[in-house]
Amino acid sequence: MVKILCGIFGCISEDVLEKILDGLKRLEYRGYDSVGIAIIDNNKIIIRKDKGKISEFIKNLDLNNIKSNIGIGHTRWATHGAPSKENAHPHMDCSGRIAIVHNGVLENFLQIREELIKKGHRFSSKTDSEVIAHLIEDFINNGLSLKEAIRNTFKILKGSIACAIISTIEPDKIICYRRESPLVIGISSKGVFCASDIPALLPYTRNIAIIPDDKIVILEKNKVQAEDINGEICKLEYNEVTWNLEQAEKSGYPHFMIKEIFEQPRAISDTLKIPLIYIDRAIEYLENKNKRIYLTGSGTSYHACLFGSYLASHLLSMDIRPVISSEFTEILSSLENSTVIAISQSGETADTLNAIRYAKSKGAKIIGITNTLGSSITNLSDVYICTQSGPEIGVAATKTFLTQLISITLLFLRYGLKKGKISEVDYSKLMSEINRIPKIIEEILKKSDIIKNIALKYSSKQNAYFLARGINLVTALEGALKLKEISYIHAEGYPAGESKHGPIALIEPGFLCIFIAPKDNTREKIIGNIMEMKARGAEIFSIITEGDEEIKEISDEYFEVPHIHYILYPILCTVPLQLFAYYVAVFRGLDPDKPRNLAKSVTVP
């Protein structure tokens, strides 16, 4: 699984500072909000870090006369704690003997941080990562060696981790550890290197090893040694990388969009690890009696709002209204005693920010759901939840959409549990269904060639309807938006029941109708809608639950997804439609990453 959140680069070599800065620049494409480095000079750790871009950081750097041959660097994409100098990596322990950089999400850091504070540790940041340096220090204070302390630390810490550590206790080593987040190493006559992605290593070596999960790797001058978490020596497998720089930035995928589609299992796993305290803080704003709750967002994020609205009705028996952000001020007048859940991956969409400002001016409270910590939405919201997708570079929202759906599900499920609207048993059942999603999506992605062939067959169509009923209307709207924005095919998402009130007039032989028809309580009616379209010569492509022979029979093409609780089908069924849009665009000779007339973040109203 590929993970992009932050960039790590470390090396033991000559001209370490230049190499670290160059390595971090080569990781810039991943997106970041702050930069930092730590080097060892005269047995002292020197740290420089700041919010902002690498170019600015270099301009202000005051380390001209330092000649170090060991160091680590980091570009941070904020997940816990806003972008700031204090929250930038590297982080140190209290004694100044240990510096760490980390990429990933720590699940149990809050509890460990509290225990360490009780023992006298002083924390300088609001990050989850800083706990790593303090925990290592704590073990060392209790008599363990550096390596033993590091092993014990990673045995205790839960979550995704790629970490590089330097210490004055063993100043000739960089110690790396990896679990779920990527970390690669390379060795050549130019030095020994570690980085979170291959492009950073290409100027020095093409002989690269991926650190296996749950392994510690110790880098020394001209030497690399891998151990398991108990200290047993193990082997690393080196491969010769033949990618050019551009291919390497996309981890070998031809476009960012497809890379990001394939990152979804990881993005969802990390979003499922959001500490409950963040969800509970948001719930406080939902709890007042007689409160009205609204959801607002634009484009794909509006589809996440619509999902939230269906979810609230089905799970909580609550009517929560979704409102497109650009219409918010036109449609809502009295917002006193209200809470608005505003969803935006970028956190900078002008329409959504305007809706928030308006709602606030009328006395509403705001819960933000965003992928960008430190964005305007996090500043304007009373409380926010940060989805853990990592930066999304393709203009079409993919992984950020699925993590929005996951976040809103976590929020409403937990709210339902607290309010007694959902029983403990049902909550646990649903949570175990949700926890299956990353694995199921991995399985769906393994079948991407099926979608590729269907996309080839339909790539010259000029029109498509995406039809569904109930909560899968969300999927239909999102599938149509994806196809329209990157393939320029005219595509419309419609409630299937509404199609006979006008849209059916366009149906003639060969018109493409895509039905989202998993097994839920709308299935019988959907079959009726398929037959109506088929009778008029439409070509039918259906997304169905595995083994649904009846819908297979009446469809020209189908794609099967595994069975899941019906409210979660939009999360699964969106994936084949993202792939469909992507492959259609590629077959039409278009660049899916840069659709015409669109920007990643729409900052004008």
Instruction: Report the alpha-carbon distance of residue 279 to residue 411 in Å, rounded.
Output: 6
395 lies in the site for ligand AGP, by CB under 6 A: yes
Nearer to ligand AGP, 23 or 493 (CB): 493
Tokens of 91: 């982080």
Query: Scanning the structure block, which residue is given the tokens 């008029």?
Result: 536
In what order do the strands lie in the sheet containing 383-386? 321-324, 292-297, 338-344, 365-370, 383-386
Judge whether 600 counts as a catalytic residue. Answer: yes
C-alpha distances (whole Å) from 279 to each of 142, 273, 412, 415, 494 are: 35, 11, 9, 9, 32
Contacting range for ligand AGP; rule: CB under 6 A; set: 260-268, 277-285, 338-346, 497-505 = 338-346
What are the φ/ψ torsions at residue 88 (nearest 5 degrees)? Answer: -65, 150
CB of 103 to ligand AGP, least distance (A): 23
Instruction: Report the alpha-carbon distance of residue 134 to residue 142 in Å, rounded.
Output: 12
Instruction: Report the alpha-carbon distance of residue 351 to residue 370 in Å, rounded.
Output: 15
CB of 585 to ligand AGP, least distance (A): 12
Instruction: Report the alpha-carbon distance of residue 568 to residue 585 in Å, rounded.
Output: 27
Contacting range for ligand AGP; rule: CB under 6 A; set: 175-183, 248-256, 343-351, 532-540 = 343-351
Query: Scanning the structure block, which residue is given the tokens 């709750």?
Result: 293
344 lies in the site for ligand AGP, by CB under 6 A: yes
Instruction: Report the alpha-carbon distance of residue 561 to residue 557 in Å, rounded.
Output: 14
Nearer to ligand AGP, 181 or 326 (CB): 326
With CB under 6 A as the contact rule, the residue among 87, 153, 196, 300 that binds ligand AGP is 300
Number of shown-chain residues binding ligand AGP (CB under 6 A): 15
CB of 294 to ligand AGP, least distance (A): 16
Beta strand 91-92 with 70-76: parallel, antiparallel or unpaired? unpaired
296 lies in the site for ligand AGP, by CB under 6 A: no
User: Ramachandran region of residue 38, left (φ > 0), alpha (ψ -120 to 50) or beta?
Assistant: beta
Tokens of 197: 């992605």
With CB under 6 A as the contact rule, the residue among 105, 359, 364, 397 that binds ligand AGP is 397
Instruction: Catalytic residue, from 3, 6, 19, 482: name it.
Output: 6
Contacting range for ligand AGP; rule: CB under 6 A; set: 168-176, 284-292, 394-402, 578-586 = 394-402
Instruction: Report the alpha-carbon distance of residue 11 to residue 354 in Å, rounded.
Output: 46
301 lies in the site for ligand AGP, by CB under 6 A: yes
- Contact string 473-492 vs ligand AGP (x = CB under 6 A): ------------x-------
With CB under 6 A as the contact rule, the residue among 84, 103, 129, 345 that binds ligand AGP is 345
522 lies in the site for ligand AGP, by CB under 6 A: no
User: CB nearest ligand AGP: which residue?
Assistant: 299
With CB under 6 A as the contact rule, the residue among 349, 378, 388, 499 that binds ligand AGP is 349
The residue ranges of DSSP E strands in 377-522, in sequence order, are: 383-386, 463-468, 490-495, 512-517
Q: Which of residues 174-213 bind ligand AGP (CB under 6 A)?
A: none
CB of 471 to ligand AGP, least distance (A): 19
Instruction: Catalytic residue, from 421, 461, 594, 600: name it.
Output: 600
Return the active site residues: 6, 600
Give the interface with ligand AGP as residue ranges (CB under 6 A).
298-301, 344-346, 349, 352, 395-397, 485, 601-602
